[in-house]
Amino acid sequence: MAEYQLHCFAQSGNAYRAALMLNLIGADWQPMFVDFFGSGVQRTPGWRGDVNEMGEVPVLVHSNKKLTQSGVILTYLSEHSGKFLPRGEDERLEALRWIIFDNQKVNGFLGPYRFLKNFAKPAGDPAVLAFLKARIDGNLAIVDKRLSTRTFVLGERPTIADISLVGYLYYPAEEFGFDIAAAHPSIGKWLDRMKALPGWKHPYELMPGYPLKL
């Protein structure tokens, strides 16, 4: 058994944040496949009782600890490894600020948008997709502006704020119906910088369940 177990599946950008962090810090970890689209195990009372009462993926297991919420998982792993760790109070608060903004408004909208477009049956209502798309465009523009003057979200060094924000951004443009890197050039260049970090892997390589059997 590896030191860390991560309950995850390939299509989850929320889980990708945790999987990528584990790989970037060189952790001894193994994925535990959650059949999110098949059996929908995350909705069962058993899974909610034993694994995560919130019914969400990712879940990180480390000895006697079970952690959920990717922001919490990233914080824990950065504190344990000393890597991608925001340093000092100002950086810690700044990282938390971007992680919350990301969870709520960047990947927090991109994830449901891609789900409704690609995987939901029936597919999402066009009015809902239009609402989400307008919010996504506006919020990606905020991130793009931030990255136009910085190498990484906080400055010259990559931190957990960057690892949170890449959540859904490496999935294929066809899955969104728009090309994030092309529409937001500073995000595009930053995604290339993140991709160059030792240990980087695409979500479809890092987590089980791709391609999806629907």
Ligand X SMILES: N[C@@H](CCC(=O)N[C@@H](CS)C(=O)NCC(=O)O)C(=O)O
The verdict on 118 binding ligand X (CB under 6 A) reads no
Q: Minimum distance from CB of 149 to ligand X (Å)?
A: 27
Type of residue at 23:
N
151: its two tokens = 């190498």
Cα–Cα dist 184/196, whole Å: 19
- Please identify which residue in 7, 14, 86, 160 interacts with ligand X, judged by CB under 6 A: 14
Q: How far is the CB of 152 from ligand X (least distance, A)?
A: 20
Whether the link from the prior residue into 211 is cis, omega within 30° of 0, is yes
Strands 4-8 and 59-62: antiparallel
The residue among 41 and 151 lying less far from ligand X, judged by its C-beta, is 41
- Return the number of the residue (58 or 86) whose C-beta is nearest ligand X: 58
How far apart are CB 160 and ligand X at their closest, in Å?
A: 12
How far is 35 from 73, CA to CA, in rounded Å? 21
Q: Which stretch binds ligand X (CB under 6 A): 55-63, 131-139, 171-179, 186-194?
A: 55-63
State which residue, 14 or 139, has the beta carbon closest to ligand X: 14
Among positions 62-91, residues that touch ligand X (CB under 6 A) are: 69-70
CB neighbour list of residue 92: distance below 8 Å, 6 or more residues apart = 86
- Token pair listed for 81: 């490894």
Report the DSSP pairing between strands 29-33 and 4-8.
parallel
Which has the closest alpha carbon to 101: 172, 93, 190, 133? 93
Among 10, 20, 57, 154, binds ligand X (CB under 6 A): 57
56 is an interface residue for ligand X by CB under 6 A? yes
Q: Is 189 exposed, middle or buried (0-12, 13-18, 19+ CB in 10 A)?
A: middle
Stretch that binds ligand X, among 22-30, 51-59, 146-154, 172-180 (CB under 6 A): 51-59
Q: Which of 78, 103, 139, 159 binds ligand X (CB under 6 A)?
A: 103
Bridge partners, residue 32, by sequence:
7
Cβ contacts of 30 within 8 Å, gap of 6 or more = 1, 2, 4, 5, 6
Count of residues that bind ligand X according to CB under 6 A: 11
Whichever of 14 and 75 has its CB closer to ligand X, that residue is 14
Query: Is residue 55 near ligand X by the rule CB under 6 A?
Result: yes
Is residue 184 within 8 A of residue 140, CB to CB? The reply is: yes
Out of 31, 86, 111, 158, the residue judged to bind ligand X by CB under 6 A:
111
Name the residues that contact ligand X, by CB under 6 A.
12, 14, 42, 55-58, 69-70, 103, 111
